[in-house]
Amino acid sequence: MNKSYWGITQEELFLFNCGSSHHSYRFMGAHPIRWRGKPGVRFAVWAPEAKRVAVVGDDLGWDTEGACLEQVGSTGVHIGFVETISPGSRYKYRIVTAEDDIVLKSDPYAFYSERRPSTASIVYGLPEFTWSDQAWYKTQQKTPSYNQPLLIYEVHAGSWRIKGKEHYYTYEELAEMLIPYVLEWGYTHIEFLPLMEHPLDQSWGYQVTGFYSPTSRYGTPEQLKYFINECHRHGIGVILDWVPGHFCKDAHGLRRFDGSPLYEGADWKRAELPLWGTLSFDYAKSEVVSFLISNAIYWIEQFHFDGLRVDAVATMLDLHMDKPPELHTLNADGGRLNLNAIAFLRALNETVFHYYPHLLMLAEDSSSYASVTKPTDLGGLGFNYKWNMGWMNDMLRYMASSPADRTQQHHLVTFSIWYAFSENYVLPLSHDEVVHGKRSLLNKMWGSYEQKFAQLRLFYGYWIAHPGKKLLFMGGEWGQFDEWKDEHMLDWEVLQYESHQRMHRYVKELNYLYRSLPVLWQNDFDPACFQWIDVNNASQSQLSFIRKSESGMLLAIANFSLHHYCEYRIGAPMSGIYTLLLHSNEVKYGGNTTVLQRDVYSEEIPMHGQAYSISIELPPFTFLLYAFQSEE
């Protein structure tokens, strides 16, 4: 186990073959090193079925047989040291398959790549970066994320702001604009759509060719590190969308990498994902597991990401998901669960939390699989958060319906509380809901132009007060009217109009209110934090509830109807003063309420099963939030 191949040990290769290499990127791929006093680049690539693997590129020529790599025993890994290649050079692997075909492949472990449509890998290595975010990590380690506010601003770097068509801001330039904006609007985290190298802009990064390559669209790896370092210095966390479920079929990518189905499974029915035109990873192969788990650690260790939002978990778990019947397969037990994917996800989360206990691991999962956020030793998948797709779908369906129909759909608003504490949920209002003809959040709302704004304010208020952490896609904060157009910049110009300006102000103040009230985030996942006051008022499309913690108690009231009530009585659990914190229909937010009664005193009039009650004015499409304090 002591033999070394240009610095790569047999033990490292053994762990890679066993699926237990958590840092395989440290020796796989292209690494500029000095060997016996000579500078060069060491290459290592997994291609077990290849007859021959060589490196070709700028320094060796592209139409030559290249510099041949040595296959190390039965490991399937080809390794070599090439003196004539220098950092910054473009390269690919020239692979001779078992059928004597010749294919040119990008490096699966490339740390940097050409900008599309070019497809070569670039020798880059792992250069040192001077981080100055130690204070951020000390702060994060003091309190678990469960007991902190989590208010995520989801961003697509190629359309938040751009200079022109396909003329993007660099990561450094984005730092100058995006960080101050996120700070001013009160978000705790930025979540980026995938930043790995991908050939098609319209895939938004979800169809990857370079899993270890920060996309060159927005600059260099060092510039991305600079962005994250600056976020941390200003108290902002950064989450990365990560895609371990599938990969592109592009000829230079992972598909049939060595002439055989290597990263994908040999069973084409399992490998094919026709809905996306991609191939799923084969989690039964230990080397694929090493590749993926090391990739997660790479982004956390090398770039200091604070969390990974794992994409399409439902598709990973379900062998039938997004597939026509002719592609359905069964597992060894005769079921449709992908048992290898389950084992992989558990190993992934165990590994990540072993090294980084305070990291955020969020599952984008629309399945009914139980215990996604439970520890693996209790039978769970081991994530610490899961997107609440059910809440999102129900609420958007409800908000799009007419007030007349809402009396028959009241359950869509209330059902989520039945399962709200079964997982650690994030309430996502993400990019997926405002694209491909689905319309923007504002334009999903029922009614006239003014009613749409009123209902979006109502919806956001209910979203903030509902148990669970929060995520909002860019543009939603000012009520972008058109749906997201990924090739164009957000419609910032609408902020010249008063209605959007006032929506912008509302969301900003709502964000600050959320962060300033620990009762809204301290006990998000404890059923004791929530109590219905009036849950069954379907005929009037209204509801009210309590949020409570050791920090206090809040009373939330939502009117989803067209009716205006001058005197509306709400049950109150305690005697005292209820102080108005938020009124979504205030003029300053775009509503028409000018006179506000800030303090309301409870009366000893039983209502809604409570010993006390308060009487308030309740305009249509309005959300109200009150803080309780005793009369003493």
| pLDDT (tens digit per residue) in 235-282 | 999 999 999 999 999 999 999 999 999 999 999 999 999 999 999 999
Confidence band for 595, pLDDT divided at 50, 70 and 90: confident
CATH number of 4-122: 2.60.40.10
Element at 579 (helix H, strand E): strand 577-583
Token pair for residue 93? Answer: 């692997």
For the cut 80, the answer to whether the pLDDT of residue 631 exceeds it is no
Residue 632: predicted pLDDT: 63
Confidence band for 142, pLDDT divided at 50, 70 and 90: confident
Please tell me whether residue 18 adopts helix, strand or coil conformation: helix
Element at 400 (helix H, strand E): helix 389-400
Residue 2: predicted pLDDT: 56
Confidence band for 1, pLDDT divided at 50, 70 and 90: very low
What's the average model confidence in pLDDT over 515-520? 97
> Are 48 and 285 spatial neighbours (Cβ–Cβ below 8 Å)?
no
Please tell me whether residue 240 adopts helix, strand or coil conformation: strand
Residue 4: predicted pLDDT: 79
Query: Is-catalytic flag, 333?
Result: no
For residues 284 and 271, what is the distance between their CA atoms, to the nearest angstrom? 12
What is the per-residue pLDDT across 525-565, written as a single tens digit (0 to 9) for each? 999 999 999 999 999 999 999 999 999 999 999 999 999 99
Confidence band for 45, pLDDT divided at 50, 70 and 90: very high
Mean pLDDT of the chain: 95
Confidence band for 164, pLDDT divided at 50, 70 and 90: confident
Query: In Å, what is the CA distance from 154 to each residue of 279, 405, 543?
Result: 26, 32, 29
What is the per-residue pLDDT across 406-465, written as a single tens digit (0 to 9) for each? 999 999 999 999 999 999 999 999 999 999 899 999 999 999 999 999 999 999 999 999
Element at 416 (helix H, strand E): helix 416-419
DSSP designation for 513: H
pLDDT over 70, % of the chain: 100
What is the per-residue pLDDT across 84-127, written as a single tens digit (0 to 9) for each? 898 999 999 999 999 999 999 999 999 999 999 999 999 999 99
Residue 208: predicted pLDDT: 96
For residues 96 and 102, what is the distance between their CA atoms, to the nearest angstrom? 5
CATH class of 528-629: mainly beta
Alpha-carbon Rg of the chain, whole angstroms?
27
What's the average model confidence in pLDDT over 608-629? 96
For the cut 60, the answer to whether the pLDDT of residue 296 exceeds it is yes
For residues 613 and 341, what is the distance between their CA atoms, to the nearest angstrom? 52
- In 281-434 the beta strands, taken as DSSP E runs, fall at 307-310, 360-363, 385-387, 425-429
Map tokens 């979540």 to a residue: 191
Q: Nearest to residue 163, comparing CAs of 178, 175, 173, 153?
A: 173
Residue 597: predicted pLDDT: 87
Residues in the chain: 632
Residue 147: which residues within 8 A CB-CB, separation 6 or more?
521, 522
What is the per-residue pLDDT across 27-37, written as a single tens digit (0 to 9) for each? 999 999 999 88
Cα angle value 112/113/115 (rounded, 5°)? 130
Residue 527: predicted pLDDT: 95
Query: Is-catalytic flag, 364?
Result: yes
For residues 348 and 358, what is the distance between their CA atoms, to the nearest angstrom? 15
For residues 561 and 569, what is the distance between their CA atoms, to the nearest angstrom? 16
DSSP 23-38: -GGGTSEEEEEEETTE
Confidence band for 203, pLDDT divided at 50, 70 and 90: confident
Residue 554: predicted pLDDT: 97
Q: Nearest to residue 555, comparing CAs of 585, 520, 507, 607?
A: 520
Within the chain, all domains assigned CATH 2.60.40.1180 are found at: 528-629
Q: Per DSSP, what are the bridge partners of residue 532?
A: 545
Alpha helix segments (H runs only) across 311-374: 313-317, 339-355
For residues 407 and 421, what is the distance between their CA atoms, to the nearest angstrom? 26
Within the chain, all domains assigned CATH 2.60.40.10 are found at: 4-122
* Residue tagged active-site, from 241, 250, 306, 311: 311
* Residue tagged active-site, from 250, 258, 318, 364: 364
